[in-house]
Amino acid sequence: DVKVTQSSRYLVKRTGEKVFLECVQDMDHENMFWYRQDPGLGLRLIYFSYDVKMKEKGDIPEGYSVSREKKERFSLILESASTNQTSMYLCASTVHRANEQFFGPGTRLTVL
Amino acid sequence: QKEVEQDPGPLSVPEGAIVSLNCTYSNSAFQYFMWYRQYSRKGPELLMYTYSSGNKEDGRFTAQVDKSSKYISLFIRDSQPSDSATYLCAIGGTASKLTFGTGTRLQVTL
């Protein structure tokens, strides 16, 4: 079974802090994704990566950056957290470009 | 107009009922159609994956795609309380990105 893990289930940070969210997959998938999920808005793509050291902006990249130094690990960075970044963050991976994505359990981030 | 539209519900049905969940989409280039189930405070899990028009069945679940109408459906037969969750449709084209519906919350009551 594909396993996608995320470093924290719940996280509370203060406005202005730098926040790191980590995602690890164990199936040697090339493609990894970061989404945020908000009520009424569904899943929105923040960034994705097709390969190590490669990244592409999704639909809402502002205020975020990413890092992919190793194939199995994809990190989402909030450079200076703001209250409007309070959300559920979901990581996903897939082996092929147009295939089904496998999700991690999510990190519920609260920014005070 | 959103690329993918999905009724948010909530949808409440009695145990044993047949449930119909639907999404419409606007981009005729979409080729891959998926349904995810998401329990509260968990990540989405893939339920059904189809490519092209037609039906696909897996146990109590049937996914249906009508590309001419840009309409996809998920049917759940003999619904159980354990089916209570949010169901997300997801649609993809030739690129890797998926476009998700906002999800329909389903409650199956005893």
Would you call A42 and B32 a contact, using CB atoms and an 8 Å cutoff? Answer: no
Would you call B44 and A108 a contact, using CB atoms and an 8 Å cutoff? Answer: no
CA distance A45 to chain B (A): 8
Residue A1 has pLDDT above 70, yes or no: no
What pLDDT does residue B25 have? Answer: 94
Whether residue B72 contacts residue B64, with contact meaning beta carbons closer than 8 Å, is answered with yes
Whether residue B18 contacts residue B11, with contact meaning beta carbons closer than 8 Å, is answered with no
- Segment B30-75, tens digit of pLDDT: 888 999 999 998 999 999 998 878 899 999 999 999 999 999 999 9
Would you call A40 and B8 a contact, using CB atoms and an 8 Å cutoff? Answer: yes
Vertex A7 angle, CA A45 and B99, to 5° = 15
Residues of A in contact with B89 (CB under 8 A): none
DSSP assignments along B21-73, one per residue: EEEEE--TT--EEEEEEE-TTS--EEEEEEESSEEEEETTEEEEEETTTTEEE
3-state secondary structure of A102: strand
A4, closest residue in chain B (CA to CA): B43
Average pLDDT over chain B, rounded to an integer: 92
Q: Report the percent of chain B where pLDDT is more than 90.
A: 75
- In this structure, the number of other CB atoms found within 10 A of the CB of residue A100 comes to 19
Determine the average pLDDT of the residues in A4-19. Answer: 95
Determine the average pLDDT of the residues in A33-51. Answer: 93
- Going by pLDDT thresholds of 50, 70 and 90, the confidence category of residue A16 is very high
3-state secondary structure of A84: helix
Residue A19 has pLDDT above 70, yes or no: yes
Would you call A97 and B42 a contact, using CB atoms and an 8 Å cutoff? Answer: no
Q: Which amino acid is at A78?
A: L
A2 against A42, higher pLDDT: A42
For A106, which of B8, B42, B103 is closest by C-beta distance? B42
What pLDDT does residue B54 have? Answer: 86
What pLDDT does residue A98 have? Answer: 57
Determine the average pLDDT of the residues in A81-105. Answer: 89
For chains A and B, CB pairs below 8 A equal 53
What pLDDT does residue B44 have? Answer: 95
Determine the average pLDDT of the residues in A4-33. Answer: 94
Rg from Cα positions in chain A: 13
For A106, which of B6, B43, B101 is closest by C-beta distance? B43
DSSP state of A71: T
Average pLDDT over chain A, rounded to an integer: 93
Q: How far is Cα A99 from Cα B51, in angstroms, rounded to an integer?
A: 10
Q: How far is Cα B110 from Cα B9, in angstroms, rounded to an integer?
A: 19
Residues of A in contact with B10 (CB under 8 A): none
